Structure 1
């Protein structure tokens, strides 16, 4: 595999407090094993040419020219080249930025041709500066990253979450993803402790330090968010919603919902329905 890499110090943050950590330009030549790996930062992976598969956790996605893959921190991934021409791609490691996609996924794949967005121009410009390394190139690259991030906002249709310089540990990131996907299950702090292989008090402390909320309170907040979606968009009864979202009973859902939203679940549904109904 032919590859050219650059690493940056955190002395050149962007205007959005996002730091360009490292970049690489690579071409698959069959001499490099595709081993799943993860990073403590967000990675942007842009396919310049070729085709292959991109493995994310336990899923496989076909990728080809002009595809952009965005992978949040602590997500296992790797690429596999298939056919000719081989995969040729840019990677950009970005610190201080995390994407919050619809469906609570930690990754997203876009085809920039379909989006009619020439992101390749910005990647090429970035790497031209890196190749030449003229005076002030790191500052220019940081500003170019700002522009690239703004372009990403246009095509993702997803909110951004700017994370602090203190990164969540791999264990806490895993627990957060687990809660986002399994909120309907019967989950206790002891169960989360077993999953993370951490003492439950240490887990709660670390999770709160990184996310500003305890894991159980985060779980309850997540359940309330899903309750709102179901109340607005379905005709499920309150007891059914309680069961689907992991609340032990309808009364516990009602108590939690009133505490969080200042009204009953039934009142919330009526208000939302009234706003949707035409006059």
Structure 2
């Protein structure tokens, strides 16, 4: 019989400060050809892992092609969005992480980092799918397991690259309820959304939600919803030939007149005037 024994040499430190760095959410997305995403920001760092398809990530004025096994890390408050290609819909898993930022090397871009995990796919998917399973089932201690998996994943990432971690600077943090409501609106703004539905989603009283959301973001939940719809309508007006009635219906407005009224209030011109201004004359 032969045995091997390896002694652990504890360093006493971890690259992740658990008192500040928290996993906020994990979600999956697979886009079809009808999805048009808009530039947006988050107060946390987002880590995307592409599990299928091809597409692009837009980081402010930059456009990055992405494919399977690419990991994209976007630091807090950096405008970004994902674009899927119709022939091969983009599919990814994304984590929201509070309390940390990734710092690239000397030649890196402080807004984002990207690395391909070719050859390490099974390891990465093991950790990510483990997080998804724990969050979905919510068994006892699931939050501890998810935090452990996050830390292992970050260490593996640091081994493959020259990335380093920095604590995120102190900033005003939205309450979990308000952040959840904003994420819900960002993902479902084309659907029929009411204040009652948002309050139910956040498990809070609707009057409390209006007060706290307005205090956190400077706008009420419903007005934020309208602004997201108007953002999307600008793309539809300038890049498609859909009628106002069609656009109004697609974006969940109760009527074309209410859409026109809301658009003029936010943009200062009518939808048709905006369309004429945004399309070059032939």
With normalisation by structure 2, the TM-score equals 0.51
Paired residues of 1:130 and 1:137 also in contact (CA < 8 A): yes
Paired residues of 1:129 and 1:137 also in contact (CA < 8 A): yes
Secondary structure, in 3 states, of the residue corresponding to 2:65?
Answer: strand
The answer to whether 1:121 aligns with 2:121 is: no
The alpha-carbon deviation at position 40 of structure 1 amounts to 1.1
The answer to whether 1:38 aligns with 2:41 is: yes
Q: CA–CA distance in 2 between the matches of 1:119 and 1:46?
A: 9
2:147 aligns with 142
| C-alpha spacing 1:60/1:46, structure 2 compared with 1 (3 Å) | same
| 5+ long unaligned stretches in structure 2 | 1-15, 174-282
Q: CA–CA distance in 2 between the matches of 1:15 and 1:95?
A: 10
Q: CA–CA distance in 1 between the matches of 2:73 and 2:56?
A: 14
Paired residues of 2:33 and 2:86 also in contact (CA < 8 A): no
In the TM superposition, structure 1's runs of 4+ consecutive aligned residues that sit over 4 Å from their partners are 114-117
The partner residue of 1:156 within 150, 158, 161 is 161
What do you get for the CA RMSD once the two structures are aligned?
2.3
2:70 aligns with 67
The alpha-carbon deviation at position 29 of structure 1 amounts to 1.9
With normalisation by structure 1, the TM-score equals 0.51
Q: CA–CA distance in 2 between the matches of 1:37 and 1:82?
A: 19
> How many aligned residue pairs are there?
156
1:186 aligns with none
1:108 aligns with 113
2:20 aligns with 17
What are the superposed Cα offsets for residues 59-99 of structure 1, whole Å, 9 maximum, x if unpaired?
11110111100111111111111143311111101011011
1:216 aligns with none
Secondary structure, in 3 states, of the residue corresponding to 2:152?
Answer: helix
